[in-house]
Protein backbone atom coordinates (compact mmCIF):
# COMPACT_ATOMS: atom_id res chain seq x y z
CA UNK A 1 0.00 0.00 0.00
CA UNK A 2 2.87 2.39 0.77
CA UNK A 3 4.34 1.79 -2.70
CA UNK A 4 1.08 2.76 -4.37
CA UNK A 5 0.84 5.96 -2.30
CA UNK A 6 4.46 6.78 -3.19
CA UNK A 7 3.83 6.26 -6.94
CA UNK A 8 0.65 8.33 -6.86
CA UNK A 9 2.50 11.09 -5.00
CA UNK A 10 5.36 11.04 -7.56
CA UNK A 11 2.89 11.16 -10.46
CA UNK A 12 1.08 14.13 -8.91
CA UNK A 13 4.40 15.95 -8.37
CA UNK A 14 5.42 15.27 -12.00
CA UNK A 15 2.09 16.61 -13.30
CA UNK A 16 2.37 19.77 -11.17
CA UNK A 17 5.92 20.38 -12.43
CA UNK A 18 4.84 19.83 -16.04
CA UNK A 19 1.93 22.24 -15.69
CA UNK A 20 4.26 24.82 -14.12
CA UNK A 21 6.73 24.50 -16.98
CA UNK A 22 3.96 24.88 -19.57
CA UNK A 23 2.59 27.97 -17.85
CA UNK A 24 6.07 29.50 -17.75
CA UNK A 25 6.75 28.65 -21.40
CA UNK A 26 3.54 30.13 -22.79
CA UNK A 27 2.92 33.07 -20.44
CA UNK A 28 6.30 34.29 -19.18
CA UNK A 29 9.02 33.14 -21.58
CA UNK A 30 10.02 35.21 -24.60
CA UNK A 31 10.62 32.03 -26.61
CA UNK A 32 6.94 31.57 -27.51
CA UNK A 33 6.15 35.02 -28.89
CA UNK A 34 4.24 35.33 -32.18
CA UNK A 35 6.42 35.74 -35.26
CA UNK A 36 4.90 38.87 -36.80
CA UNK A 37 5.74 40.70 -40.01
CA UNK A 38 9.32 41.91 -40.59
CA UNK A 39 9.24 45.71 -40.83
CA UNK A 40 12.90 46.63 -40.39
CA UNK A 41 16.38 45.17 -40.07
CA UNK A 42 19.18 47.27 -38.59
CA UNK A 43 22.86 46.29 -38.49
CA UNK A 44 25.16 47.22 -35.62
CA UNK A 45 27.93 49.76 -36.32
CA UNK A 46 30.55 47.00 -36.79
CA UNK A 47 28.14 44.73 -38.70
CA UNK A 48 28.52 41.82 -36.27
CA UNK A 49 24.88 41.96 -35.11
CA UNK A 50 21.52 42.63 -36.68
CA UNK A 51 18.25 43.58 -35.00
CA UNK A 52 15.14 42.44 -36.82
CA UNK A 53 11.95 44.31 -35.94
CA UNK A 54 8.58 42.58 -36.31
CA UNK A 55 5.08 44.03 -36.13
CA UNK A 56 2.64 41.56 -34.65
CA UNK A 57 -0.75 42.58 -36.01
CA UNK A 58 -3.67 42.84 -33.65
CA UNK A 59 -7.31 42.09 -34.21
CA UNK A 60 -10.62 43.08 -32.63
CA UNK A 61 -9.57 41.98 -29.14
CA UNK A 62 -5.77 42.28 -29.25
CA UNK A 63 -3.67 45.37 -29.97
CA UNK A 64 -0.55 45.50 -32.15
CA UNK A 65 2.84 44.65 -30.67
CA UNK A 66 6.50 45.09 -31.52
CA UNK A 67 8.99 42.24 -31.22
CA UNK A 68 12.74 42.67 -31.77
CA UNK A 69 15.24 39.86 -32.12
CA UNK A 70 19.01 39.97 -32.23
CA UNK A 71 21.07 37.90 -34.63
CA UNK A 72 24.83 37.62 -34.14
CA UNK A 73 26.30 37.55 -37.67
CA UNK A 74 29.86 36.87 -36.55
CA UNK A 75 29.08 33.47 -35.02
CA UNK A 76 29.02 30.13 -36.79
CA UNK A 77 25.38 29.56 -35.93
CA UNK A 78 23.18 32.61 -36.56
CA UNK A 79 20.69 31.80 -33.82
CA UNK A 80 18.25 34.58 -33.02
CA UNK A 81 17.12 35.66 -29.56
CA UNK A 82 14.19 37.90 -28.66
CA UNK A 83 15.33 41.00 -26.81
CA UNK A 84 12.30 43.31 -26.93
CA UNK A 85 8.54 42.72 -26.66
CA UNK A 86 6.08 45.60 -26.26
CA UNK A 87 2.29 45.40 -26.40
CA UNK A 88 0.14 48.27 -27.70
CA UNK A 89 2.91 49.61 -29.89
CA UNK A 90 3.11 49.83 -33.65
CA UNK A 91 6.10 52.11 -34.23
CA UNK A 92 9.69 51.63 -33.21
CA UNK A 93 12.70 53.92 -32.98
CA UNK A 94 16.04 52.08 -32.80
CA UNK A 95 19.46 53.62 -32.21
CA UNK A 96 22.72 51.74 -31.82
CA UNK A 97 24.80 53.55 -29.18
CA UNK A 98 27.80 51.29 -29.77
CA UNK A 99 28.39 47.70 -30.88
CA UNK A 100 26.72 46.23 -27.76
CA UNK A 101 24.22 48.82 -26.50
CA UNK A 102 21.00 49.52 -28.36
CA UNK A 103 18.16 51.92 -27.58
CA UNK A 104 14.71 50.71 -28.57
CA UNK A 105 11.95 53.26 -27.84
CA UNK A 106 13.79 54.75 -24.83
CA UNK A 107 14.74 51.31 -23.45
CA UNK A 108 18.51 50.71 -23.27
CA UNK A 109 19.61 47.09 -23.76
CA UNK A 110 22.94 45.30 -23.77
CA UNK A 111 22.43 42.87 -26.65
CA UNK A 112 24.49 40.17 -24.93
CA UNK A 113 22.44 39.91 -21.74
CA UNK A 114 19.44 42.27 -21.50
CA UNK A 115 15.85 41.81 -22.58
CA UNK A 116 12.73 43.94 -22.27
CA UNK A 117 9.35 42.29 -21.81
CA UNK A 118 6.43 44.58 -21.02
CA UNK A 119 4.85 41.79 -18.95
CA UNK A 120 7.65 42.12 -16.37
CA UNK A 121 7.76 45.94 -16.43
CA UNK A 122 6.08 47.28 -13.28
CA UNK A 123 6.06 50.83 -14.72
CA UNK A 124 4.18 49.80 -17.85
CA UNK A 125 0.51 50.71 -18.06
Same domain for 110 and 63: yes
In a domain, 125, yes or no: no
Q: Does the structure show a pLDDT above 70 at 124?
A: no
pLDDT at 27 over 90: no
Question: Domain check: are 108 and 62 in the same one?
Answer: yes
Q: Specify whether 81 is located in the same domain as 94.
A: yes
In a domain, 54, yes or no: yes
Residue 16, domain extent = 1-32
Predicted pLDDT at 22: 86
Kindly report the CA angle at 79 between 120 and 70, in degrees rounded to 5? 50
* pLDDT on residue 94: 92
**Claim to verify: residue 111 and residue 51 sit in the same structural domain:** yes
Q: Establish if 25 belongs to a structural domain.
A: yes
pTM for this model (two decimals):
0.77
Count structural domains, the chain: 2
Mean pLDDT of 102-115: 92
Question: How confident is the model at residue 117, as a pLDDT?
Answer: 87
Amino acid sequence: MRKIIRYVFLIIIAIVILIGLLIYRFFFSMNSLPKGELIDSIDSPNGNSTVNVYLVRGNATVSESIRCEIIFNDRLINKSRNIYWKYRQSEVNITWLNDQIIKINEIYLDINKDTYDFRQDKNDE
